[in-house]
Structure 1
Amino acid sequence: EQMMRFVILILFVSATRAVEASASTNDSPPIRSSVKAIQFGIAHAAESSKSSTSTSTSTSEPNTPTPYTYIPVSALNKYGASTQLQHALLSSTKQGSVLTLAATAEEDDGSTSSARIVVGTIRPKPPPGVISSRNWIHAISRDDADSTNEQQQWTGLLYTGIQSDGMLVTSMLRDYGRRVWERYNAVLGCEGAAEALSRILTCFMNYDRTEELVDGCGPVVPSSDDDGGFQTGRPFGIQCLLLGVGGETTAIVSMDPSGVAVRCYAAAIGRCSSDAKRLLEQRWRSGMSVADVRDLFVEIGTELFREDQGQEDNEDCTEFLNERFEIVCDVISSTSSTKNALKRIPFLATQKNNLS
């Protein structure tokens, strides 16, 4: 900046002397006006250079956040929360589905011979002639399909958010579940899967786990490095639900990008999950049958979906929404696959009385 001022000063002095020398030989009004114009132009250029330099200096401050500035993983906001984790949670909400619900339920006849979890989600309808598969519930581990046991153990994963992150996490969990099966001849249960998922979601923090006791199945997040370290550049932008059934027990574990696990009887993920959790706390009750839980999902899903689409006051939009979207319901049971353990039940928002 000082060098630029020095150059401008030299130009100013040279131009002034040249004009004054010319003016001494022929003192005419146009020459005087030219001197004033040159003085004004150089002064304006110097002022513009100074303002642009100060602007560039202020924008290059290291503590000034910009849309293109990388925020370190260890950075905290004024409330002590991780900025990266907040961004990951926002991504999982914005990039995810509208709503996915899960809740435990009993048999319609009131018996508790097998554990059941009812899962429902709102998604766009497939094109005509296309058979929609159950690719939104990802099995992590389960007993042999040809087992003679009437009660089987099954662990699955539901996620919403950035699809590539969810696919990577699913493959890591399945690989770890395979190693547990090969070493112990046991199915990776919901609690073990929750611990493994928490380690995967927190691998961006670069914890040193070399001195920790392990189960002999290797690290949950394997690495090709010699030191066995693995670290991602950012948190995973997904919200997860781990589902587990076995015998007469059920388990639902909710987990956000921070890796904190919360075990619950009814949970929700997606854009409308905050309101859905509040409604589940008010309306879900222990001992509800499968049909009652499905009706509850239809009621909550329809109400929140209309608000999400900005149609809460439009009573004539039901047919329009039914043409483009659907609520899909699955019943996950601990009974064997030969007895239709997993029942997929699609239904429309206006047909909640015809769900058989």
Structure 2
Amino acid sequence: MPSSTPRSAPLPLALTCGEPAGIGPDVTLAAWLRRHADALPPFYAIGAVELYRRRATRLGLEVPIVAVAPGEALEVFDRALPVVDLGLPTVGEPGRLDPIDAAVVIAAIERAVDDVAAGRARAIVTNPLHKHALYAVGFAHPGHTEFLGALAASIAPPPDGVAWRAVMMLAGPDLRTVPVTVHVALAEAARTLDAETIVATGRIVAADLRRRFGLPAPRLAIAGLNPHAGEDGAMGREDIEVIRPAVERLRAEGIDARGPLPADTMFHARARATYDAALCMYHDQALIPVKTIAFDETVNVTLGLPFVRTSPDHGTALDIAGSGKALPESLIAAIRLAASMSEAA
């Protein structure tokens, strides 16, 4: 958040629409209906007023929906869902992707970043997008995390003068995990893993655990890549030659890091009590444990950026969009965490 914005300002959160054919509109409507029961902070949705009205009608939900400017959201939130209308069409029906909708998906993310940069919103909560639907119209980024990293330059210049480095964290009630390599094939993750990436990721995680989560001395557990963390080289040299030197560098910088640790013994309850975040070497090594432990309460958080961004940790769920089966718990957790992180910063 820009330093010119008073910390006490009662700014709302900005929620993007995500894929219009998915469950983003469903869970946004459901979260607004639970605003009092769950004591949610004010937020406004970005996208198209008619999208939310059509979905509310389909779901049989009595949700008043009002087009607003961000500055009007606080006044409206208690009596209606405030929506910043982008003036773009949304034609896809629940479960049926349409390439026309890609424009509003991308524009909503850009508008949310712009609103935070301008001091109109305190943080961003993104609903799930459908990557393949965006790739079909030339979207050049692997996902939300990478796109937000590219947009971060509109907030502030990067600290190293080169580029902002966005880091994905999955945060649940009892476990936080960070994949060092993210949206790449497993074979590529093993081939491209290097100590510099591990060190850079560890620095960002430690810094944001202090800044955004209020942990003065964060503890990082670093997973090994191979079974049994390589078992002294018997099952691969990466743990000895790449991960261990990275851990030593982090420790030399004063970061409480340990590893490489066997991933199969890192995630039971006693082990989780010994660290604040686990750095994992590839996507599924990080996401499987946290989703298994608390699927409905886990939040996708982007670290390393000059603004707060969270997201529900589920996909677009095209198969249940518009059916009334989508649960808003993960979005509600993302809204709460975004508010908490923006207050701590």
TM-score w.r.t. the length of structure 2 is 0.27
Flag the structure with higher strand content: 1
Q: So what's the TM-score if we normalise by structure 1?
A: 0.27
Larger Rg over CA atoms: 1
